[in-house]
């Protein structure tokens, strides 16, 4: 009888231990799942917050450009001048530091800024003259021929003649290497020189970097500096 009782007690103890172990695993599983769901919710909230802050930065940039247009209309035509990097639109601003947000305590440690780029500071791949393209160090002659072929019906009639919709298309032209696209110590990359805007293809010398100005024919280094 004593041995049977001990066996029953031992079996009951083992059952209790197994049940305790299973409950512990269930609790740990539920806790981990709750932690993951909480983290996912936090990431979703953080992503939404970042998107709204980014949209706010875009809207602020639009306001700056609208204000510039209004100010130009208020000035006499002879005093308007051209677009240059000294204007307010060209300044990179941190909206958090400017009290742009009402509840700043919710954005501690965050940074929201915008940068407006004048596309006229680059060379328009669809409009630039052949002489300008030939002055670009990273643009080899085979690539120039293919660019001209896409823009004109006078050369290489067997190739597709369509304008470039994005400068990334230049990267995949035959004759353009990775060094040509990204640049080297000796020559700037094509991605930092070209654009597909604006439609008139003019280069704004007030905002163009030295690397772009050096591609303008008959412009000496003394003229650039």
Domain range annotation of the chain: 38-116, 120-224
Query: What confidence score (pLDDT) does residue 156 get?
Result: 47
Q: Which CATH number fits domain 120-224: 1.10.287, 2.60.40, 1.10.150, 1.10.600?
A: 1.10.150
pTM: 0.70
Task: Please say if the pLDDT value at position 98 is more than 90.
Answer: no
d(CA 137, CA 214): 10
The DSSP bridge pattern shows strands 93-94 and 113-114 to be antiparallel
Rg, Å, the chain Cα set: 32
Cβ distance 126 to 145 under 8 Å?
Answer: no
- Express each pLDDT in 68-86 by its tens digit: 888 888 888 877 778 888 8
């Amino acid at each position: 009888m004593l041995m049977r009782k001990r066996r029953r007690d031992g079996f009951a103890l083992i059952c209790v231990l197994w049940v305790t172990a299973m409950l512990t695993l269930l609790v740990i599983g539920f806790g981990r799942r709750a932690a993951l769901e909480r983290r996912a919710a936090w990431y979703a909230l953080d992503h939404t917050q970042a998107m709204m802050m980014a949209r706010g930065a875009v809207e602020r940039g639009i306001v700056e450009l609208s204000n510039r247009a209004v100010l130009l209309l208020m000035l006499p035509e002879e005093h308007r001048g051209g677009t240059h990097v000294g204007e307010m639109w060209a300044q990179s601003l941190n909206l958090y530091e400017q009290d742009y947000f009402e509840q700043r305590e919710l954005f501690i440690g965050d940074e929201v800024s915008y940068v407006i780029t004048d596309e006229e500071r680059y060379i328009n791949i669809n409009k630039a003259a052949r002489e300008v393209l030939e002055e670009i160090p990273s643009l080899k002659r085979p690539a120039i021929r293919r660019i001209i072929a896409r823009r004109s019906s006078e050369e290489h009639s067997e190739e597709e003649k369509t304008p470039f919709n994005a400068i990334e298309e230049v990267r995949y032209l035959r004759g353009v290497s990775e060094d040509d696209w990204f640049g080297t110590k000796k020559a700037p990359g094509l991605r930092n020189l070209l654009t597909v805007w604006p439609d008139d293809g003019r280069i704004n010398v007030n905002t163009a970097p030295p690397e772009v100005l050096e591609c303008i024919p008959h412009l000496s280094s003394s003229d650039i500096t």
